[in-house]
Structure 1
Amino acid sequence: MLGKKRKVNDGVAAAAAAAGQQDDDDQHHPAPRIGRQSLDRPLASAIAALQAIKTAATAAIQQLQSKAEAIKEQIETTGGKLELKGSIEGEVALNVGGKVVGVSRKGLMLDQLRHTYFAHLLLSCVDALPRDEEGRPFLDADPGYVKWLVDQIYLVEGADAQGEEYEIELDDTQKEDPTVALYHELFLTRASLDIDVRTEDVDMDDRGAAEGNKEGGEKEGGDGERAGDSSGAGSRLREYVANYTDAVTVLEKAVVDLEGFGAVMGPFLRADDGSNHTVRSVTISQQTVSTTEATLARLGPNSLLYRRFSGEVVQGNAPIRQTSVEHFMKVVDFARRQRFETRPGRVVKKPTAKPKQLAQLKKDVEMYGLTMGDVYRPPAPFLTFEETQEVLAMTEIPNPSIKLLYSSTRDGGHFGTMVDKVGDASGLLFLINHNDTHRFGAFVGGQLKSPADPTRTSGSYKVPTSFISISGAYAKITKIPIPEAKQRAAVAGRDASIKASNIDYRGKLAIGRGYLWFGWASPFPADDVRSMNQWVKKEHLPMDGYLGQLNDDGDEGTLAGTWDFTAKEIAIYQVKSG
């Protein structure tokens, strides 16, 4: 018994000594001790916990310093200002596609606009936009939409001055216009990004210290905590931790939003070296139409559209046929939208016109070297447009349209996140990039039926399933139609796992009755769904053209580079008709 008591006392002393290493003042205070073992033990634990909190706080401050520097670099990389300098009165004089408009700064600062990409672009990043010949910031966008948006902003500003509200909304006709719909989506995307107006400088360290002194400055026996009562200090510790967590959440959201802004608005900004952002203009019927070198360069210097902006009006002996200003602007904007819309799985809609003008518009679009048809972006960065079309055809969904539900690159590899993103969607196309050379997919005609109880699994349930080799296992895209008995899936709860039937491995999701595993590991499942296993019985593989591996017994193959692997990327799409 004495030996045990000595260990408790030694623990209290050790905790106090550890605390003393960080703060010289603590060395003048003896370690608190009650003298009863059952109470000295939690006392020692409390001191050790506080010391751990102190150490963790020091590390957290260092991490926050690194995070702050990274966020500042993110802002400056996109040409952003850290705060808005000068008055918010007046307008931003902006050249949009050859038309000069004035955008109200005050309007952009109103609640409905200030958190949009458009406001952030014109107030924080306007200096990073290309410049026209007059030195004005140039926005390579459709002037018709922006002029409409500017008018809407003034209506919002007018309503606000009268204490009323006015919502910027597209009507049904505008929603069907691919040009209007795209720019509206891009520019009015909302984020947590705010526009800071310069105020008097505040020393954040001094203010923080003052607030801390205020928190800790209550006298013993006063209106604050009672003397000797640790519950008040514990409550404040919990409050501080909650405040820290909330603040870090705000910073992490800002990082995500800055990345999103950079990805969407980056094409509008000029490169650091100014390359491809020269503003080019052409005059038709006394009207100026402008775009950037970046938009034209995608078509190549020999394209008729590029030559038209270079002043040429002939190609060999064939003159460029005159088009209406409206049609020419639609052609230019179609080229723009193909440059801007790079998001996986998206569709760049062909330009529209009144029914009696459609035939002529088609001729004008094709004369300038573009195809009069919708342009599909690959559903994942590792697929080409042609591959996308072939893969979608193998789902046998008529007139298929796709929606990205989950991306490991965007959302991370946590199983719970994947399940949340997929939800109750049906018609799921899984695309897996093992190592760039080996890419494959699986199409599940139903849902991922997650169990209500997180400690259980869904059990094996029937669902239409097929596999698709995209590259590596075959020289061309090949469908692997597995037998009906294999068309089953099983989903684990968040706190459960699925065990393989013949080996000591477990996973979080099994498709094709174990032909494809996510979160695969031994003896426990992996936290990351990108840890995978894929195999197919030789009898179920189309052997004509098969280039993949076979196991030692020669009865099993795989669509990946090896049976067990960590996927480079995973994307899950919903495929439906229409």
Structure 2
Amino acid sequence: MTVTEKKIHARGVLTTIQLVLSEGHQCNFNDPNNLRYIYRHVDKVSFGISDAASIIEGPHVPHLRQWLRRPSLQLLYRSTRDGDTFADFMGKVGSARRLLFAVKNNSNKFGVFFDGPLNQPNNPTSIQMTTGDLFLFSLSGSFPQPTQIHPPQDRQRVQVAGRDGAVATANPGLGSGKITMARGNLWLGHSKSATPSPSILSCCQWIDKGITPPGFTGRKWNAVHNLLADSRYFTADVVEVYQVMRGPLPAIEPDALRPLPVNFPKPLSASALSSRERTCPRGRAARQCN
């Protein structure tokens, strides 16, 4: 393997161990047979990235596994495959929940994870707002490595326009769009006019300097806002939407892992740590302690 491939598999093994522990299983991770079993599992379990050109590539997978704590993605929409109109987009995404949006603009790759669905209003000229857990991320172009970006709680929401509607900016004269996430941190189908663009690929993006993690190397919009794309307004090369598949690790069998040896040291309780047996030495010094 190359050094990069080794790092990817090592991170996958580590994440799998963390997931096994989070499910309440205990086993001996010092046992080579257990590590071999976990390695084979990581090697054969796909993250859901197809062989076709994708925004998400191998080196991104360990980071996404760690952020999402779920083993796989299911591609719902790809603009180059499904079309770039709002109808094309919503026809593929539908009412699915736990959505990962990935956007490519030249060498910049970034996106948003939203735990809820893209609810559309009953009125085709209205808009619908949905709140839920949300974070932004950069895969490449703005940080030395893939990085999460956490907006404040009041920004963790999306707004979706009806078929004939538009999500307007705070100042309606400054633009509109079909979908906005994190109160404007990412717009799809954006236009500088009151009429949204017919293409989902027409985007607007920015993040507050205050929520930008350390190590930012991307472009700045102004003194208080940074960009994850080449500019604030841009046409995306590709937009993809994945559904994050939740549930137990597929194909992992904890019973196949060798358990901890009988004599494996067990952690002491808080009371045991402060007991006389724990704190008093043995031998002559013990008599002095007593």
Distance 1:511 1:382 in 2: 19
Normalising by structure 1, report the TM-score: 0.34
Cα displacement (A) at 1:560: 1.1
Tell me, yes or no, if the aligned pair for 1:403 and 1:573 is still in contact at 8 Å: yes
Q: Tell me, yes or no, if structure 1 residue 383 matches structure 2 residue 51.
A: no
Matched letter for residue 166 of structure 2: S
Q: Tell me, yes or no, if structure 1 residue 449 matches structure 2 residue 122.
A: no
The CA RMSD over aligned residues, in Å, is 2.4
Distance 1:501 1:393 in 2: 35
Which of 512, 515, 536 is 2:185 aligned to?
Answer: 515
Q: Tell me, yes or no, if structure 1 residue 572 matches structure 2 residue 241.
A: yes
Distance 1:422 1:390 in 2: 24
Q: Tell me, yes or no, if structure 1 residue 474 matches structure 2 residue 147.
A: no
State the identity as a percent: 32
Structure scoring higher RCO (CA < 8 A, sep ≥ 6) equals 2
For the structure 1 residues 568 and 452, does the alpha-carbon distance in structure 2 shift closer, same or farther, using more than 3 Å as the test?
same
Cα displacement (A) at 1:402: 1.6
1:238-283 superposed Cα distances (whole Å, 9 cap, x missing partner): xxxxxxxxxxxxxxxxxxxxxxxxxxxxxxxxxxxxxxxxxxxxxx
Distance 1:377 1:402 in 2: 5
Q: Tell me, what secondary structure is at the counterpart of 2:174?
A: coil
Which of 555, 564, 578 is 2:224 aligned to?
Answer: 555
Distance 1:408 1:384 in 2: 17
Cα displacement (A) at 1:377: 5.2
For the structure 1 residues 461 and 375, does the alpha-carbon distance in structure 2 shift closer, same or farther, using more than 3 Å as the test?
closer
Q: Tell me, what secondary structure is at the counterpart of 2:123?
A: coil
For the structure 1 residues 525 and 573, does the alpha-carbon distance in structure 2 shift closer, same or farther, using more than 3 Å as the test?
same
Which of 34, 39, 44 is 1:373 aligned to?
Answer: 44
What aligned pairs does 1:212-227 form with structure 2 within 5 A after superposition? none
Aligned to 2:264: none
Cα displacement (A) at 1:465: 0.9
Which of 428, 434, 439 is 2:109 aligned to?
Answer: 439
1:454-504 superposed Cα distances (whole Å, 9 cap, x missing partner): 12111x332211001111111110000111011111100011111111352
Matched letter for residue 176 of structure 2: R
Q: Tell me, yes or no, if structure 1 residue 527 matches structure 2 residue 198.
A: yes
Tell me, yes or no, if the aligned pair for 2:150 and 2:211 is still in contact at 8 Å: yes
Q: Tell me, yes or no, if structure 1 residue 484 matches structure 2 residue 138.
A: no
Tell me, yes or no, if the aligned pair for 1:434 and 1:560 is still in contact at 8 Å: yes
Aligned to 2:216: 546
Which of 91, 97, 112 is 1:426 aligned to?
Answer: 97
Displacement over 3 Å in runs of 4+: none
Q: Tell me, what secondary structure is at the counterpart of 2:44?
A: coil
Distance 2:46 2:157 in 1: 35
1:388-442 superposed Cα distances (whole Å, 9 cap, x missing partner): 23123223xx33322111110110101011112111110000011111x110010
Matched letter for residue 242 of structure 2: Y
How many residue pairs end up in the alignment? 209
Cα displacement (A) at 1:555: 0.3
Distance 2:215 2:44 in 1: 34
Aligned to 1:121: none
Matched letter for residue 174 of structure 2: D
Normalising by structure 2, report the TM-score: 0.67
Aligned to 1:414: 85
Distance 1:442 1:372 in 2: 27
Cα displacement (A) at 1:529: 0.4
What are the ranges of 5 or more consecutive residues in structure 1 without an aligned counterpart? 1-298, 300-358
Tell me, yes or no, if the aligned pair for 2:221 and 2:232 is still in contact at 8 Å: no
Matched letter for residue 533 of structure 1: C
Distance 2:62 2:49 in 1: 9
What are the ranges of 5 or more consecutive residues in structure 2 without an aligned counterpart? 2-32, 248-290
Q: Tell me, what secondary structure is at the counterpart of 1:440?
A: strand
Aligned to 1:76: none
Tell me, yes or no, if the aligned pair for 1:538 and 1:557 is still in contact at 8 Å: yes
Distance 1:408 1:402 in 2: 17
Which of 45, 60, 67 is 1:394 aligned to?
Answer: 67
Cα displacement (A) at 1:372: 5.6
1:512-549 superposed Cα distances (whole Å, 9 cap, x missing partner): 0111100011212100000000001111111x210112
Matched letter for residue 205 of structure 2: Q
Matched letter for residue 426 of structure 1: R
Matched letter for residue 440 of structure 1: F
